[in-house]
Amino acid sequence: MFGPKKYTETELVEGCVRNDRRAQEAFYRKFFPEMLRMCRRYTRDEDTAIEITNNGFLRVFKKLHTFGFKGSLEGWVRRLVYHSMADYFRDNARYLHFLVLEERDNVVPESSHEVFYEADILNVVSTLPPVSQSVFRLYAIEGYSHAEIAENLNISEGTSKWHLSTARQKLREQLVALGHAYAR
């Protein structure tokens, strides 16, 4: 008969900013599954994925007062959790290649001693054509969906997916070349 209160996004944000524990729990329950799923794409260790996600939520709750209701709340949360993930992997440098490569790409062998630092990867990203670079940054770094990117850049979702695929391919090629340059 009496279930948990249903909050609008505005009520969730305002309640969390006021330190309303029920709103904070509702916010966490609403976004946690999707953020955990995102973190699981980059690590096979469940405990690490949960740790990263929870650190991301700590960051979200500390900065929630700055959310201006411009754009998607989920995209904003995703971006902050993603930054927590980047911080985690930067601190554990052997994982840094996750920024560009997904597990299925398997370009950099686990046994490789090559490490790509954030600056190296961002330098390679900056060489992409402008639209591919924008799509890659919005999708892979800021966590926007293809639908949001398509609307933002005034392109179709299919075009957004094509640019992401093209960007990843070019990045893989350049990072492999960069890895060989480091090995010399």
Q: What is the pLDDT of residues 27-45, one digit of tens each?
A: 999 999 999 998 888 777 8
Tell me: do 105 and 83 sit in the same domain: no
- Indicate whether 102 and 72 sit together in one domain: no
Q: Is the pLDDT of residue 127 over 60?
A: yes
How many Cβ atoms sit within 10 Å of the Cβ of residue 143?
Answer: 23
Per-residue pLDDT tens over the stretch 128-174: 888 988 888 778 766 678 888 898 889 999 999 999 889 888 888 88
The answer on 65 and 109 residing in a single domain is: no
d(CA 49, CA 38) in angstroms, rounded, equals: 9
d(CA 116, CA 147): 30
Q: Which domain holds residue 32?
A: 1-91
Which of 67, 91, 115 marks a domain boundary? 91
